[in-house]
Amino acid sequence: MGQRSEIRVLDLADPLLAAQCARDLAARPHGVDGLINNAATWQTGSLDEHDDAEIAAVINAHVTGTLLVTKALAPALIAAPAGDIVNIVSTSGLPNVPLDGTSVAFHVGKHGQAGMSEALRQNFAGTNVRVTALYPPDLDTMTPLDAAWDASPDRNHDRKVTSRDVVETALFAMMRPRNCTLASIVFDSDAGGIYPDGNPRHGQLS
């Protein structure tokens, strides 16, 4: 409480530079006890609509950049009394999910983040670091500066998920007792676990 946040700008599409920035942060005396991997590059369209550099940037931001930043901060997270990693993935990272307009690279990147979450959970077994993966669907984006942020909790249960829902769910997972890991949380509006095309959701925890 009463501390001013330190803001650093980095580009996960440039993984090595992003990792160096993360190492600099990890070396700061205040330490690191939480990491929320929320950065991603939104991309739509078919595979042939994007050049090689655009596709590589999406994969780097989702997978390589995110993984290297996590690696750079890992020693600080392990050294903290209690460390948490929360990966904001997407329902695009679940099995048998339709592209629904997203690009192949975006879909691949989100599946990479899903696999990364599983692998990190195994990698940090035996340490005090927990790993949680959140799978939100297409959502209404808002910030605390928007009037919609305060109105979000009053929405009907069949309305779209919001940014505030994701933030509060991440905080909820991080505030559980240390013997409890919410490994995977899938968001769903009141559709009974069914996508509009009739395909069932997999691994749903709503």
Closest CA to 37 of 163, 128, 133, 136: 133
- In which domain, by residue range, is 113 found? 15-186
Least confident of 14-23, 27-36, 99-108, 119-128: 27-36
- Given a cut of 50, is residue 185 above it in pLDDT? yes
Domain count, the chain: 1
What gap in Å lies between CA 66 and CA 45, rounded to an integer?
Answer: 23
- On whether residue 194 sits in a domain, the answer given is no
Contact 152, 162 (CB under 8 A): yes
Residues 6+ apart with CB under 8 A from 166: 88, 134, 136, 139, 187
- On whether residue 206 sits in a domain, the answer given is no
Give tens-digit pLDDT for 74-84: 999 999 999 99
What gap in Å lies between CA 39 and CA 111, rounded to an integer?
Answer: 15
Of residues 61 and 200, more confidence is placed in 61
Given pLDDT bands bounded at 50, 70 and 90, which one contains residue 197?
low
Of residues 153 and 171, more confidence is placed in 171
What gap in Å lies between CA 21 and CA 195, rounded to an integer?
Answer: 40
- On whether residue 158 sits in a domain, the answer given is yes
Give tens-digit pLDDT for 57-108: 999 999 999 999 999 999 999 999 999 999 999 999 999 889 989 999 999 9
- On whether residue 202 sits in a domain, the answer given is no
- On whether residue 147 sits in a domain, the answer given is yes
Given pLDDT bands bounded at 50, 70 and 90, which one contains residue 8?
confident
Give the Å distances, CA to CA, from 65 to 14, 16, 148: 7, 7, 32
CATH code for position 125: 3.40.50.720
- On whether residue 172 sits in a domain, the answer given is yes
- On whether residue 61 sits in a domain, the answer given is yes
- On whether residue 52 sits in a domain, the answer given is yes
Give tens-digit pLDDT for 109-168: 999 999 999 999 999 999 999 999 999 998 889 999 999 999 888 888 778 889 999 999
